Structure 1
């Protein structure tokens, strides 16, 4: 679920507060990560802490609400790549989307690696991890069926690797390092045919 308030229609003033809290949370989590102060989020939204907790009973519920729409957009990109590119290219293009997304959504990468005090924030019924894993798994299977990706690559390993790149390069002055590391990871995933002339007896 993306917040208790999302389960039922809200009055106009309650909807306004809900949207203000989400907007403030988006900025706070982007700037300070998943551990951003909830009190500061409430202050930036112009509401009291009690109002914030009425809409979002826990930090996890607020994080899920913030990331929910972003995850939907990321997974929609998987379908777009599938429709416009061959399977290998579709997968690798989407991994670059995911890399950029993880860098912009600092709490998501930590959650995917089950790290930190909010490690379980995405392990719910409408689990964002499950949504991403489904999209990634479909792309991976199609690329493997075509022979574009090594058959021993697993979806969770692939996502963990890309998330780790985001975490390892977080806060680095070199904005291009994550892209270079992703290129190395992608090269390691590709199927490489061994020519008979290079094989050993």
Structure 2
């Protein structure tokens, strides 16, 4: 792989293509014409394909900041190693109350991350479908495939915490949960109010996820 830094003009073309693609995807969805993107960016199609050999490579570049933000958000929602440690001299019944609070916190953290995920998946239109596809085995080792795996891992850590706290059923798999969440994202694209639709569907989903 050529690891040499880009020339200044190549770097400008690269950044212009990402900026233009982001606007085009927001306007037309992830199926926007790549040739039109190149034209709007003021470069030839050959330049676009030299930087981004496939549509998915361009999508990964456009979505990279959002994906990094989701991973950072998961880290923010996870407690530090000292959080939840029992305190000496606590009153009778305090341990039970602490466990109940931790379960609520863990479920809340999971729900908050999923809402953030869906808010980002709603735009550009088609993002949820792209992530569903990228979760399949044949995408392993690609930019979007690795991104989907990282997203699933972040969700898995939040889910594991909620399961260990007793808030969410133990048999729930993070990959399955991410696919269901993406399905909500796909369906929300057709609703006049995607945010409200996603909230309603997440409420129904959590009714099935919670321990009884």
Q: Same fold (TM over 0.5)?
A: yes
Aligned residue for 2:169, secondary structure, equals coil
Determine whether 1:94 maps to 2:119: no
- RMSD of equivalent CA atoms: 2.3
Match of 2:65 among 58, 66, 69: 69
Rounded to whole Å, the distance in 1 between the matches of 2:142 and 2:169 is 31
For 1:14, the equivalent position in structure 2 comes to 10
Rounded to whole Å, the distance in 2 between the matches of 1:90 and 1:174 is 24
Task: Trace 1:45-124 onto structure 2 (pairs within 5 A).
Answer: 45-83=41-79, 86-114=105-133, 123-124=140-141
Describe the shift of the 1:120–1:38 C-alpha distance in structure 2 as closer, same or farther (beyond 3 A): farther
- Quote how far apart the aligned CAs of 1:67 are: 1.5
Output one character per residue of 1:125-158: Cα deviation in whole Å (capped at 9) or x when no partner: 5511111011011111111001011111110111
Rounded to whole Å, the distance in 2 between the matches of 1:102 and 1:122 is 19
Task: Trace 1:52-201 onto structure 2 (pairs within 5 A).
Answer: 52-83=48-79, 86-114=105-133, 123-126=140-143, 127-175=146-194, 176-192=196-212
- Quote how far apart the aligned CAs of 1:47 are: 1.0
- Quote how far apart the aligned CAs of 1:24 are: 0.8
- Quote how far apart the aligned CAs of 1:31 are: 2.2
Q: Normalising by structure 1, what TM-score?
A: 0.83
Rounded to whole Å, the distance in 1 between the matches of 2:58 and 2:73 is 24
Rounded to whole Å, the distance in 2 between the matches of 1:120 and 1:57 is 20
Contact 1:24 1:41 in 2 (8 A): yes
Alignment coverage as a number of residue pairs? 185
For 2:28, the equivalent position in structure 1 comes to 32
Structure 2 gaps of 5+ residues are: 81-101
- Quote how far apart the aligned CAs of 1:83 are: 3.7
Rounded to whole Å, the distance in 2 between the matches of 1:168 and 1:44 is 30
Contact 1:60 1:121 in 2 (8 A): no
- Quote how far apart the aligned CAs of 1:106 are: 3.0
- Quote how far apart the aligned CAs of 1:66 are: 1.2
